[in-house]
A and B are shown apart, each in its own frame.
Chain A
Amino acid sequence: SAVISQKPSRDICQRGTSLTIQCQVDSQVTMMFWYRQQPGQSLTLIATANQGSEATYESGFVIDKFPISRPNLTFSTLTVSNMSPEDSSIYLCSVTDYEQYFGPGTRLTVT
């Protein structure tokens, strides 16, 4: 199993600013995944963060808006850039082995 922590747990941000979310895993993992859940929507994969290479983004998500860092095998950050109210969501990081494990989420409200 894996234990995942995220910071911050929640934040209220102003339009046009950026927020960096941190994800820490208690074991080394090759891939880390970033998801978001907009209000009333399902969990949607934003990107896969690979250690030592560029993140792989899903359709509809771009690096300029959601830059990701993966400096080592236990840590990753996701930045939500130039925020708008549409970015208000829960952001979760996740890792997998046989099962998939999630962090507690970061609840972001953009005003």
Chain B
Amino acid sequence: ILNVEQSPQSLHVQEGDSTNFTCSFPSSNFYALHWYRWETAKSPEALFVMTLNGDEKKKGRISATLNTKEGYSYLYIKGSQPEDSATYLCAFRWTNAGKSTFGDGTTLTVKP
């Protein structure tokens, strides 16, 4: 059984705060690590696909890092806005066949 853990489970911040979440995954048989943003009633939106140890990716105010040797990834949001409120999922992909194991997600609420 592949265990993918995300912390914290939920987070409440004020507008303008910066925040970060953690995704822990098995350090063996690594193929890729995906981050998604999932708003209620919408499809999960792909944020990043990370494949190489030491990867750092950035999209606007959101960035992510990857450490495959120790099995963790961090997602950072700088200057959180109310529209950032969503559940952030990470998924560990262990083959190129597309199968992924998802974490439970971190639900972020940004208060104006």
Contacts and interface: CB of A to CB of B under 8 A. Distances in A.
Interface of A: 4, 31, 33, 35, 41-45, 48, 92, 94-96, 98-105
B103 to A, nearest CB: 6
A10 to B, nearest CB: 9
Contact of B99 (A45, A101, A103, A104): A45
Given A41-B104, A99-B46, 14 more contacts: A4-B43, A35-B102, A42-B89, A42-B102, A42-B105, A43-B91, A44-B102, A48-B98, A92-B44, A96-B98, A100-B91, A100-B93, A100-B100, A102-B43
| Among all A-B residue pairs, the 7 with the closest Cβ atoms | A96-B98, A43-B102, A42-B104, A102-B43, A42-B102, A102-B44, A104-B43
A45 B95 CA distance: 14
Contacts, number: 49
Contacts of B4: 42
Interface string B37-56: 00001111010010000000
A90 to B, nearest CB: 10
**B interface bracket (residues with beta carbon within 8 Å of A):** 20 to 34
B24 to A, nearest CB: 13
14 contacts: A33-B98, A33-B99, A35-B102, A42-B105, A43-B91, A43-B102, A44-B102, A45-B99, A96-B98, A100-B34, A100-B46, A100-B91, A102-B43, A102-B44
